Amino acid sequence: MRRIALLSAAALLTLTLAACAPAQTAEFIGLDAAKAAALEAAGLSGSQVEFTTTGLDQKNGIDFYAVDFTSGGKSYTYDIDAVTGVVIDDGGASAAAGQAAAPQTSAPADSLVTDADSFSSAAPQSSAPQSSAPAQSGGIITEQQAKEYALAHAGLESGQVTFLRCKLDWEDGRQVYEVEFFDGDYTEYDYEIAAADGTVVKYDYDAEYAVPQNTAGQSLTADEAKALALAQVPGAGTGDIVDFEADYDDGRIQYEGEIRYDGMKYEFEIDGYSGAIREWEAEPTRR
């Protein structure tokens, strides 16, 4: 009887410890498996697509992989359950095959209020891409078209740049593509392209890492620097420069300033020796 009692006590202790042990975390399938599940759902292979966004996310306590890609000018969005690999959201692909889906989040309200005016008067300038249609059947342009509009505005071609991202997002109640790339001189460009028609909503470029050609020559005068900045904004004059100063960066003189003209604000930094525009940002002024 004593032996039976001891065995019963041991069994009870084992059960108690098992109940108190922390539950094991479910193992995730991994990003590659999530991509494969999304491709299978779309009926495509990896060689047919270009992935734009992939990563682990969580919504309503459910862990999932967000997998976005493009193929043949169409955008695909899939949410894949991180544990089971089941497609929990296909971005409306089943209802409208291949059409770009609107983001599920609401539009942010804390951004600068902008209008739909193009930036045709601001540098850099170029003609709109002729190869891009105004919009696809889903009512918005494709990511490839957004890239082309940004490149055309910057006066560059796809072979001259490396793209860092092209992502569909919301800005002031409308859909925009955030396009970011850099060229062979490591000048970095950031664009917001209206998804409805390809209008350049906002842009800036940063040549912070460009090496000036003249490091010991005569520096530019303030008037010369102002003239370089004004040349980027046709129609603007010295009276439109609302802020201007000379500064030193790593022992080199540079000119910084701001131009306000025709409802736009332009901020710039100009190298004081080479005259290179190291930074340039353009956006609508608050109304």
pLDDT of residue 149: 95
pLDDT digits (tens, 9 = 90+) for 148-159: 999 999 899 999
262: left (phi over 0), alpha (psi -120 to 50) or beta: left
Decide whether 31-89 matches 102-206 in CATH topology: yes
Greatest distance between any 2 Cα atoms in the chain: 105
Q: Which CATH architecture has domain 102-206?
A: Roll (3.10)
The one-character DSSP state at 232 is T
Q: Which residue has the higher pLDDT, 230 or 109?
A: 230
Please write the tens of the pLDDT for every residue from 79-110.
888 877 888 887 766 444 433 333 433 333 33
CATH code, 222-284: 3.10.450.40
Alpha carbon distances (Å) from 161 to 183, 187, 226: 4, 10, 29
In terms of pLDDT, which residue wins out, 257 or 23?
A: 257
Most confident of 54-68, 178-192, 256-270: 256-270
Confidence category of residue 15, pLDDT binned at 50, 70, 90: very low
Predicted structure pTM score: 0.41
Predicted confidence (pLDDT) at residue 21 exceeds the cutoff of 80? no
pLDDT top residue among 103 and 225: 225
Domain ranges of the chain: 31-89, 102-206, 222-284
Look at residues 232, 59, 19, 81 and name the one whose alpha carbon lies nearest to residue 67: 81
Quick check: helix, strand or coil at residue 234? coil
Amino acid symbol at 248: Y
Q: What is the pLDDT of residue 129?
A: 55
CA distances for 50 relative to 9, 79, 82, 156, 207, angstroms:
61, 17, 21, 22, 28
Given a cut of 90, whether residue 146 has pLDDT beyond it is yes
| SS3 category, 99 | coil
CA distance 180 to 128: 18
Answer for the pair 33, 13: CB distance below 8 angstroms, yes or no.
Answer: no
Share of the chain above pLDDT 70, in %: 68
CA distance 18 to 43: 45
* Segment among 157-166, 253-262, 270-279 with least mean pLDDT: 270-279
How does pLDDT run across 52-70, given as a tens digit for each residue? 878 888 765 577 888 988 9
**Domain boundaries 31-89, corresponding CATH code:** 3.10.450
Omega of the bond leading into 124 within 30 degrees of 0 (cis): yes
